[in-house]
């Protein structure tokens, strides 16, 4: 008898299960960079390692295979150096203290706010969509809805002209 057949569901513990493969198309380099950046920023929040240590770890471990290293590096370094300013862009839009937000969601909000503020060439809708997808992938079950709502309001403040142009195009 196979060991899996002899185990009862109540005996399973985290990491005992089998990973279910997902047929997913290869992400773009920028999407892969954002995914790695969220993981790196989570690591920074948990360990307080320097940006250089984190960049080196991700590079040595081969975690940037599909990513644009320059974009990944920019996100990690700039978000760490400016996290307080980035938090200020959404702190008044949330229903709790920033410290009470899950670290994964905080990392996603910081990356997205960085892009909304500093990457004007990326449409705000793309920034929000990428953040929502990151929340679906790494966040709690319903966190993508929370991320979407917060970033929609943040975009109104950080990209008001772009949103105004979108409104004009729809009329």
Interval 83-122: pLDDT, tens: 999 999 999 999 999 999 999 999 999 999 999 999 999 9
Rounded to 10°, the helix 103-118/29-47 angle is 130
Name the CATH code of domain 27-170 (choices 3.40.50.300, 1.10.3210.10, 1.10.10.60, 1.10.940.10). 1.10.940.10
Contacts of 47-54 with C-beta under 8 Å, sequence gap 24+, read: 51/76, 51/77, 51/80, 51/81
Average pLDDT estimate for 33-53? 97
Gyration radius of the chain's alpha carbons: 18
Cβ count near 57 (within 10 Å): 14
| pLDDT class of 19 with cuts at 50, 70, 90 | very low
Please report the pLDDT score of residue 17 as a whole number: 47
What are the domain boundaries of the chain? 27-170
Give the global pTM: 0.83
Please report the pLDDT score of residue 56 as a whole number: 96
């Amino acid at each position: 008898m196979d060991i899996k057949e002899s185990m009862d569901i109540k005996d399973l513990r985290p990491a005992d299960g089998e990973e279910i493969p997902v047929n997913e198309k290869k992400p773009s380099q920028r999407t892969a960079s954002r995914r790695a950046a969220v993981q790196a920023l989570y690591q920074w929040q948990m360990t307080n390692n320097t940006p250089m240590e984190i960049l080196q770890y991700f590079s040595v471990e081969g975690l940037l295979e599909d990513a644009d290293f320059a974009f990944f590096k920019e996100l990690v370094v700039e978000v760490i150096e400016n996290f307080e300013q980035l938090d200020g862009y959404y702190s008044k839009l949330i229903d709790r203290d920033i410290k009470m937000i899950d670290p994964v969601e905080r990392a996603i909000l910081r990356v997205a706010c960085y892009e909304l503020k500093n990457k004007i060439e990326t449409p705000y809708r793309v920034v929000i969509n990428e953040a929502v997808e990151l929340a679906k992938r790494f966040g709690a079950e319903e966190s993508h809805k929370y991320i979407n709502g917060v970033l929609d309001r943040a975009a109104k403040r950080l990209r008001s002209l772009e949103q105004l142009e979108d409104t004009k195009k729809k009329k």
